Structure 1
């Protein structure tokens, strides 16, 4: 009798329905994405992928890692918009125009006149303007509270509302505004605060 009872108990465990791991995974993943303020379009896309039979969780996890990287200082997620050397870093320096100490809010990259300038990351163009300091400049919103600025341009090749990616030529470099010669001034901002671009550049 004891043996039979034991067998029945074992059988009852085996007969239990397996956990719905796909549902649990979906809840966990979506919780992370909602916490990181992912856009509704991206959330809908994630839901559609999660509930297909051929859902690749490995690729999905990699996608989440890319999203999380934007929230971690030091993770390199932006490309250098011009493939050249950095000539002036972020931080305190002697202003080359006024010859007085000043905070440099971005980095300067060597760029001969009319060098092609690429978007550092995919996003939406929010400003295409000109002022006394930056000269001709462009700002791009990358989502997740990040934005980039490209200054001292000779030609702006995009307009507000344009969607761009890393292969998009957005401008040609120049020396407009407060500048001593042709180069690209590049800024990264997080929640409106200036960041050291070198902490984020690949």
Structure 2
């Protein structure tokens, strides 16, 4: 069976270029998670590496399958030079480790909260998991393993996260779109939710 992490890193490099920085975090009882940084002009992209090494399993399942189950990595894109976004490395690693630590299955439409600003001075502590298949294509790996999906993360303020819980992810994304919200701006103002 192929080493999933090696294949994932190759896919990230083919889609985003060479990373210009990387950091690794290991949490007690979990696999190592790395976060790679890719600079692309006025954008910086952060991608997790290692989350997909193990499949995500339903936390209420009586037995977990060590081979089958959804696999994913997380990708965050922000405008460069507007904030100290490199401090997002640890929060991203925490989010990537959550399937192993908390037994959650990360999927589009989920919200995830780290309980502290994503980077110093950030108005966001939560992210909305967006649909895969855009920036980095899904990666098919050896059967019977599920493909690895690369899930974009959209930073949310506390009010946006609360509103999303009531109205749903699609409604929040429609608000952002209608208001022309720049979701890549690390200092953006919250959307109007009235």
Q: Same fold, TM exceeding 0.5?
A: no
Greater per-residue strand proportion: 1
Using structure 1 for the length normalisation, give the TM-score: 0.24
Using structure 2 for the length normalisation, give the TM-score: 0.24
